[in-house]
Structure 1
Amino acid sequence: MDQITVYEKPTCTTCRNLFVLLKEEGIDFEKVDYHVLGLQAEEVRDILAKTGLSARDVLRKREPVYKELDLGGRDLSEDELVDLMVEHPALMERPIVIKGDRGVLARPIEKVRELF
């Protein structure tokens, strides 16, 4: 069976709720606190490819850095947005769950069931 990886922030309520759901379902998973560990651009691109989402799709618009960088008013390329997520991990939405070559942005958390 494919390893399940959850890209998360431990203080995120949605992440904590997802963990409860996964444990109730008896599903083992690995947590990656990308806010602490960071991600390389290749990792972000891989996550996006597996979820089928664009960098703009996973931007956290309520983060202060989103407003500070005026990301809503700028026309940035996919590569530029990925580079900003690497520099500012808080810009990437969470939790993102990867299983094998597929993934979902687990918002709402029940979306994780698409992987099972």
Structure 2
Amino acid sequence: MTFTLYHRPQCATSRKVLALIRTHGIEPVMIDYVQAGWSKDQLVALFNAMKLKPRDLLRIKGTPAQALGLTDPSVSEARLLTAMVKHPLLVERPIVVSDKGALLARPPEKVLEIL
């Protein structure tokens, strides 16, 4: 089974999710998405797999979301997606993808749903 963890190594929640995955004997492919960046197609595929929209994964804490005016509910999903590609930090973390599906692992124990 393949596991991919899109995370930030500095994030406590990401580290907890990684530890939970490893306690099940799984070593995931780890992607620091802030360094790697996102493509529009990649984000759209993740959103579709999670059955979520960009607004559902908009991270506000520690990001330029407010300064960019993205917290206004009238901002379109297309504009959010474009901003997320330009500013990877705007995507909430950690995201886990496995053969069983994809999800935002918040709280960390949520990852158990796809182990």
Q: Work out whether the TM-score is over 0.5.
A: yes
Amino acid at match of 1:65: P
Is the contact between residue 4 and residue 31 of structure 2 (CA under 8 Å) also seen in structure 1? Answer: yes
Amino acid at match of 1:17: K
2:27 is paired with a residue of what secondary structure?
A: coil
Is the contact between residue 50 and residue 101 of structure 1 (CA under 8 Å) also seen in structure 2? Answer: no
Q: How many angstroms apart in 2 are the aligned matches of 1:78 and 1:101?
A: 26
In the alignment, what sits opposite 1:59?
58
Q: How many angstroms apart in 1 are the aligned matches of 2:104 and 2:63?
A: 21
Q: How many angstroms apart in 1 are the aligned matches of 2:46 and 2:63?
A: 23
Is the contact between residue 59 and residue 92 of structure 2 (CA under 8 Å) also seen in structure 1? Answer: yes
TM-score, scaled to structure 1: 0.92
TM-score, scaled to structure 2: 0.92
Q: How many angstroms apart in 1 are the aligned matches of 2:64 and 2:24?
A: 35
**1:103 equivalenced with 2:102 (yes/no):** yes
How far did residue 100 of structure 1 move?
3.0
Displacement over 4 Å in runs of 4+: none
In the alignment, what sits opposite 1:114?
113
Root mean square deviation, CA, Å: 1.4
**Unaligned 5+ residue runs, structure 2?**
none
Figure out how many residues of one structure are paired with residues of the other and give that number: 115
**Unaligned 5+ residue runs, structure 1?**
none
The share of aligned pairs that are identical, in percent, is: 36
In the alignment, what sits opposite 1:91?
90
